[in-house]
Every structure is written in C-alpha cells, then in structure tokens.
Amino acid sequence: MPTLAERFAAAYDQVQVAVEKAERVPNSVKLLAVSKTKPIADIEAVAALGQTDFGENYAQEAVEKAQKLAHLGLQWHFIGPIQSNKTRPLAEHMDWLHTVERDKIARRLSEQRPAELKPLQVCIQVNISAEPQKSGAMPADVKDLAALIQTLPNIELRGLMAIVENTADEAKLAQQFTAMQTLFDQLKTRYDNVDTLSMGMSQDLQHAINHGSTMVRIGTAIFGARQPRQSN
Ligand SMILES: *Cc1c(COP(=O)(O)O)cnc(C)c1O
C-alpha cells in the first residue's frame, strides 16, 4: 500500500501533469489538501512535505485543527456549508472560506472577523448545476453578491467556487465548466483582487484545469478513504 507521502506526491504530480496538458503556466493551479475527518498527525505529515493549504468541511473540526496547528503557519480553507449561527468561529480562525453564498453570511463574516487579522479571503460558491439540493448562489446572483462583498471591510473577494454535477454526461459537464469559466472571467475583469477559481476534485481534475481552475480540492487520493460521518 502506498504511504501518505507517496499518495501526496502522486496527487501533486497529477495536478502538474494536468496543468501541462492544458498548456497552462506551470504552478498556476494550487493543490488544496482536503483533510476533513483525518487526524492531526496526517496533516502534520503532509505539511512536513511542503503543503501549506488545507481544506476542512466541518466548522468545529476545522477550528480545532487550525488552533492545534497554529504554530505551523498553514492556510486553513473552509469548504463546507456555512450555517449562519456558526459564522463566528470560522471568521475568527479560518484564512479562507470557499462557500459564501448569500448577503447575510457575507455581512456577518465581515462583522465577526477580528479587525487585527488579515481580511478573510472568500470565494462565492456557485450552484452551477442548479440542482435544488445543492448549496451555492445562482449564477444570476453572483454579480450583486460580489459587489456587496467588495464593500465589506474585513472580508476580501478572491473568486468563485463550484462543485459540478456528479454525472457521466460529458456535454452537461462541459457546459457547467464553461459557464464557471465565463463567470470567473467576468468577475476578474471587474475586480483586481479576484484571482481564484476553486473547481475540480480527483475525478474531474483535468476538465476543471482545462477550464481555468486555479485551485483543485483533493482529499481521498492524498489521505485515503474516509469513514462515513454525519455532517454537523
Ligand atoms: C470532501 C470534499 C472534497 C475532496 O473530496 P475527495 O473525494 O475526498 O477528494 C473536495 N471538495 C469539497 C467541497 C469537499 O467537500
């Protein structure tokens, strides 16, 4: 069985190869190591290999890990659904939030972000497949939400995040990736601080990178399979 170090190296290489195949600039896509449910020791091991950015899905777990590993100076990204009554710990302890989807959450995060910290870096999650059970702002609402975020002092808009539909329908996937790329390009021309398209996971990595992704989120391929867990 491959070791954690071997799995991390393979995932890292996979991203670089996909970037090359897409004929994009080397190092233009960042690997976010999704460590949800995984123990602190695994994060320390991957951090020791040079990985700086880690993604978490559950608020309490994310905050605990960020606090315990504060001495390592890692960047903590929250990529799970944000409940409006749980914004404060996230505002106080995360570096990035990928899943801002409405005005109320954006306002609260800015109010609750301690002013002495660097502004919280945020992406707007877009429900690009328009699936009713999925989180995210509708594409038509992105422009207004982005404009609001630009006015808030303690959060900084960095871009967009999407989870495309889980389907084998290539035409549908291509349509969703293209739609995200277009939305991202529009936002980038409007705001200088926008530079991040958080899109792509293990199975759709190449597709996402072909369509302008700048950050791919990989969990299982690095840390191994997760135990089933109830979301909190
Ligand atoms: C869990 C998760 C990932 C990583 O998924 P894997 O299948 O473990 O690679 C990526 N993005 C989001 C939003 C997730 O919740």
Whether the predicted pLDDT of 231 surpasses 70: no
Domain count along the chain = 1
Q: Which atom of ligand 1 is nearest to the CA of 34?
A: 4
Residue 126 lies in a domain: yes
Residue 38 lies in a domain: yes
Q: How many CA atoms lie within 13 A of 198 on its CB side?
A: 31
What is the DSSP code string of the chain? Answer: ---HHHHHHHHHHHHHHHHHHTT--TT-SEEEEE-TT--HHHHHHHHTTT--EEEE-SHHHHHHHHHHTGGGTPEEEE-SPPPGGGHHHHHHH-SEEEEE-SHHHHHHHHHHS-TTSPPEEEEEEE-TT--TTS-SB-GGGHHHHHHHHHH-TTEEEEEEEE-------HHHHHHHHHHHHHHHHHHHHH-TT--EEEE--GGGHHHHHHTT-SEEEE-HHHH-PPPP----
Residue 43 lies in a domain: yes
Q: Residue 60 is part of a domain; what is its CATH number?
A: 3.20.20.10
pLDDT at 229: 61
**Residue 228: band (very low, low, confident or very high) from pLDDT cuts 50, 70, 90:** confident
> How close is the Cα of 219 to the center of ligand 1, in Å?
6
Separation CA 215–CA 232 (nearest Å): 25
Choice from 78, 201, 202 to test ligand 1 binding pocket (greatest atom count within 8 A of CB): 201
- 34 beta partners: 55
Whether the predicted pLDDT of 61 surpasses 70: yes
> How close is the Cα of 228 to the center of ligand 1, in Å?
13
177-226 pLDDT, tens digit per residue, is: 999 999 999 999 999 999 999 999 998 999 999 999 999 999 999 999 99
94-139 pLDDT, tens digit per residue, is: 999 999 999 999 999 999 999 999 999 999 999 999 999 999 999 9
The predicted model gives 82-93 an average pLDDT of 95
Residue 231 lies in a domain: no
Residue 134 lies in a domain: yes
pLDDT at 224: 94
Whether the predicted pLDDT of 232 surpasses 90: no
pLDDT mean across residues, the chain: 96
> How close is the Cα of 152 to the center of ligand 1, in Å?
29
Residues with a CB atom less than 6 Å from ligand 1: 34, 36, 57, 79, 163, 201-202, 217-221
The predicted model gives 15-31 an average pLDDT of 97
The predicted model gives 145-161 an average pLDDT of 98
On whether the pTM is more than 0.75, the answer is yes
pLDDT above 90: percentage of residues in the chain? 94
Residue 35 lies in a domain: yes
8 A C-beta contact, residue 32 and residue 53: yes
Which structural domain, as residue segments, surrounds residue 146? 4-223
8 A C-beta contact, residue 149 and residue 157: yes
pLDDT at 230: 56
- 171 beta partners: none
Residue 66 lies in a domain: yes
pLDDT at 18: 98
Residue 123 lies in a domain: yes
